[in-house]
Amino acid sequence: MPVPDPALLARKAEIVRALQRIVPGEGVVSEPAGLVPFESDGLSAYRQTPLAVVLPETTAQVSQVLAWCQANGVKVVPRGAGTSLSGGALPLADGVVLGLSKFNRVLEVDYANRCAVVQPGVTNLGITAAVEAAGFYYAPDPSSQIACTIGGNVAENSGGVHCLKYGLTTNNLLGCELVLMSGEIVRLGGKAMDADGYDLLGLVTGSEGLLGVVTEVTVRILPKPQTAQALLLGFPTVEAAGATVGDIIAAGVIPAGLEMMDNPAIRAAEAFVGAGYPVDAAALLIVELDGPEAECAELTGHVRALASARGADFVRVSQNEAERLAFWAGRKAAFPAVGRIAPDYFCMDGTIPRGKLPQVLTRITELSAHYGLGVANVFHAGDGNLHPLILYDADRPGELERAEAFGADILKLCVAVGGVLTGEHGVGVEKRDLMSEMFDATDLACQQRVKCAFDPGLLLNPGKVFPTLHRCAELGRMHVHRGKLAFPELPRF
Partner 1 sequence: MPDTMLRALKPTSAEEVQAIVAEAGAGARRLAVTGGGTKRSVGSMEPVDAVLSTARLDRIVDYSPEELTLTCEPGVRIEDLERLTAAKGQMLAFEPPRWTRLLASRGEPTLGGVLSANLSGPRRIRAGAARDHFLGFEAVSGRGEMFKAGGRVVKNVTGYDLMKLLAGSWGTLAVLTQVTVKVLPAPRTETTLLLFGLPDVRASEAMTVALNGPFEVSGAAHLPSFAARARPLKAEMAVTALRLEGFDASVAARAEALSAVLKGFGRIEMLDAGHSRDFWTQVREVEAIASDPRPLWRLSLPPAQGWRGPHGLPGDALYDWGGGLVWLATEEPPAKVHAVARELGGHALGLRGHEAFGPRYGALAALQARVKAAFDPLGVLNPGRMEATS
Using CB under 8 A, which residues numbered 198 to 217 contact partner 1? 198-203, 205-207
CB of 136 or CB of 346, closer to partner 1: 136
CB of 482 to partner 1, least distance (A): 6
User: Hey, which residues between 470 and 489 contact partner 1 (CB under 8 A)?
Assistant: 476, 478-482, 485-487
* By the rule CB under 8 A, 353 interacts with partner 1: yes
User: Hey, which residues between 145 and 184 contact partner 1 (CB under 8 A)?
Assistant: 156-157, 159, 163-164, 167-168, 170-171, 180, 184
CB of 434 to partner 1, least distance (A): 9
CB of 299 to partner 1, least distance (A): 7
Q: Is the dihedral of CA 351, 264, 164, 426 positive or negative?
A: negative
CB of 380 to partner 1, least distance (A): 7
User: Could you report how far apart the first and last alpha carbons of the chain are, in Å?
Assistant: 48
CB of 358 to partner 1, least distance (A): 14
CB of 109 to partner 1, least distance (A): 12
Interior CA angle at 330 toward 269 and 262, to 5°? Answer: 55
CB of 155 or CB of 283, closer to partner 1: 155
CB of 113 to partner 1, least distance (A): 5
User: Hey, which residues between 244 and 263 contact partner 1 (CB under 8 A)?
Assistant: 246, 249-250, 252-254
CB of 246 or CB of 276, closer to partner 1: 246
Sheet holding 52-54, edge to edge: 28-29, 52-54, 95-99, 75-79
CB of 3 or CB of 112, closer to partner 1: 112
CB of 267 or CB of 380, closer to partner 1: 380
Interior CA angle at 145 toward 466 and 431, to 5°? Answer: 20
User: Hey, which residues between 394 and 413 contact partner 1 (CB under 8 A)?
Assistant: none
User: Hey, which residues between 273 and 332 contact partner 1 (CB under 8 A)?
Assistant: 291-295, 297-299
CA distance 131 to 125: 10
CB of 88 or CB of 91, closer to partner 1: 88
CB of 262 to partner 1, least distance (A): 19
- DSSP per residue, 336-379: HHHHHHSSEEEE---B--GGGHHHHHHHHHHHHHHHT--EEEEE
Burial class (CB in 10 A: 0-12, 13-18, 19+), 477: exposed
Please name which of 340, 320, 344 lies closest in space to residue 330, comparing C-alpha atoms: 340
CB of 451 to partner 1, least distance (A): 8
CB of 249 or CB of 341, closer to partner 1: 249
CB of 67 to partner 1, least distance (A): 12
CA distance 103 to 123: 10
Residue 413 half-sphere exposure, CB side, CA atoms within 13 Å? 22
Contact call for residues 118 and 217 (beta carbons, < 8 A): yes
User: Hey, which residues between 117 and 136 contact partner 1 (CB under 8 A)?
Assistant: 135-136
* By the rule CB under 8 A, 98 interacts with partner 1: no
Size of the site for partner 1 (CB under 8 A): 105
Segment 16-24 long-range contacts (CB within 8 Å, at least 24 positions apart): 16/52, 18/68, 18/72, 19/52, 19/54, 19/65, 19/68, 19/96, 22/54, 22/56, 22/61, 22/64, 22/65, 22/68, 23/54, 23/55, 23/56, 23/57, 23/61, 23/65
User: Hey, which residues between 410 and 429 contact partner 1 (CB under 8 A)?
Assistant: 418-427
Contact call for residues 256 and 371 (beta carbons, < 8 A): no
DSSP category for residue 4:
P
* By the rule CB under 8 A, 194 interacts with partner 1: yes
Interface segment toward partner 1; rule CB under 8 A; list 29-37, 229-237, 273-281, 434-442: 434-442
CB of 106 or CB of 452, closer to partner 1: 452
* By the rule CB under 8 A, 107 interacts with partner 1: no
Interface segment toward partner 1; rule CB under 8 A; list 21-29, 124-132, 331-339, 452-460: 452-460
Residue 278 neighbours by CB distance under 10 Å? 20
* By the rule CB under 8 A, 114 interacts with partner 1: yes
CA distance 69 to 73: 6
* By the rule CB under 8 A, 64 interacts with partner 1: no
Give the containing element (helix H, strand E) for 260.
Answer: strand 257-262
Residue 28: C-alpha distances to residues 57, 281, 380, 421, 450 (Å) = 11, 52, 40, 36, 31
DSSP SS3 for 450: helix
CA distance 242 to 381: 8
CB of 312 to partner 1, least distance (A): 19
Interface segment toward partner 1; rule CB under 8 A; list 68-76, 112-120, 365-373, 398-406: 112-120
Rg of the chain over all Cα atoms, to the nearest angstrom: 24
CB of 411 to partner 1, least distance (A): 10
* By the rule CB under 8 A, 108 interacts with partner 1: no
